Amino acid sequence: MADIRHTNWVDGAHQPPTKELIHVINPATEASIATIDATPLETVSSIIESSLKNFSSGVWSQTDASTRFTVLSKAATLLRSRLPEFINLETQQTGRPIREMKAQLSRIPEWLEYFASLARTHEGRVTPFKGPVINTLTRLPLGVVVHITPWNHPLLIATKKIAAALAAGNTVIVKPSESAPLSVLKMGKLFQEAGLPDGTLQIVSGYGRETGKFLCESRLIAKIDLTGGLATYEAIAPNASKNLIPITAELGGKAPVCFFPSMPVEKGVKAALFASFIASGQTCVTGSRLLIHSDIYDEFVELLVSRTKTLRVGDPTDDKTQIGAVISRASVDRCSAFVERAIVDGGKLLCGGEPTTVDAKGFFFQPTLIETKADSDLACNEVFGPVIALIKCSSEEDIIQVANATSFALGASVWTDDFNQAHRVAEKIDAGLVWINGHHLNDPSSPWGGFKESGMGKENGIEAFESYTKVKSTIINYGQEPTWFDDEVENARYG
């Protein structure tokens, strides 16, 4: 059976297919499940120009807040009613277990509802301007914004960005990952049904190194919101800087998961499994470094290894599967390379460490635990796979020092039943997100973003909404007479 062709969504319609196509591969079966457009750069240029024309028309950028609320709220309702088809599509294109996708996608409509409400309720303010003057501050949309979205959470991350940008009144161009673009490409029609004016949301597929880079280099765009790697940021930042285009960037992590003796070992092991192996370790906040206090280390590791060996690697469409595929053959090779280097560095392989298959097919890697040093390659660099570093720490101070000893600072979690210790440690960990007795917790109201090489700016919350706006200051003089060139200069206002 021929692959289904999913074409670009531009100006309210799926476009004719381009000459060059890209195959979308199911990583669990290695079969091509669809094709998408490799969009020519001249077409991308025309899409940018069309988007700017749409923004300038005011059809969305100047509409009132109640209309934005209505459209985004209806989009949430439509998405919630169609979740099964999106869930199946996400499982096919990412290889993630369907049980994970059911849980994740069921929450995505909340982002549309939250930013719909924020569009309706967010208010300007009046500053305490000196004298008989009123200074009002209003927030205006930026213009055409570009979203570069990843393959690991295709619909979630795209929706987080789209909801905030549309709520603020912008026109949006989304470039989903060529590895998992299908669910995002379906969103164009859904938003149209919700009442979004045609051309306000454009969805353009292609290779990141070509289509994505070209989008980010245009002088006509007003903002870039990127989720990806540091190399991608480094490729687009110089031109963005030259063109004075702001960037929100979520670039990766090496999240420490910190376990203290007051936490029951059984509970801690369950927490470690959840933090480390959701999405086969392919999240930016994967609990990829388990920092375990020496007082519980041996008991903890023994139980963790036993439980890890029983995790069910299998067909992602089976509800019983716990560990699905990684995204590609290159990802399998990357995991293998990290394991090999870790052992050369003196690490001790406790379980896993090998590629595997399901029915002799697919890009799978065994859940892997390696005991290693805090300064090893495995402990400091992002694997983006189910290869986890275990580090024995002697004290609270040692755990804090190790937690902060990488170039990443996105997420971290602290597991302890000592209330004072929980807050004391969380305060000292350098990360944009610190969970206490939790991991992977997310909410549309909670700002998400890291420090250091993990990026800049925030998704979620008022912070994200405001980052898609520019502030206009209107200063109204209702009683101060101009006096600068009069004889009486003592009351003159200047500067």
Alpha-carbon gap, residue 232 to 230, rounded angstroms: 5
Take residue 431 and report the two structure tokens written for it.
């990360």
Nearest alpha-carbon partner for 350 in 296, 385, 298, 400: 298
d(CA 244, CA 434): 32
To the nearest 10 degrees (0 to 180), the angle between helices 187-194 and 154-167 is 30
Angle at 120 between CA 169 and CA 247, to 5 degrees: 40
Quick one: how far is CA 263 from the chain centroid? 30
192 contacts 24 by C-beta, under 8 angstroms: no
Tell me how far apart the alpha carbons of residues 217 and 224 are, in angstroms, rounded to a whole number.
10
Rounded to 5°, angle at Cα 249 from 88 and 273: 50
Annotated catalytic residue 250: yes
The answer to whether the CB of 229 falls within 8 A of the CB of 251 is yes
Bridge pairing between strands 368-371 and 348-351 = antiparallel
**Sign of the C-alpha dihedral computed for residues 95, 98, 100 and 106 taken in this order:** positive
Rounded Cα gap, residues 426 and 269, in angstroms: 20
> Which is the catalytic residue, given 250, 371, 396, 453?
250
The runs of H, that is alpha helices, within 404-451 are 419-428
454's enclosing H/E stretch is none
- Enumerate the active-site residues: 250
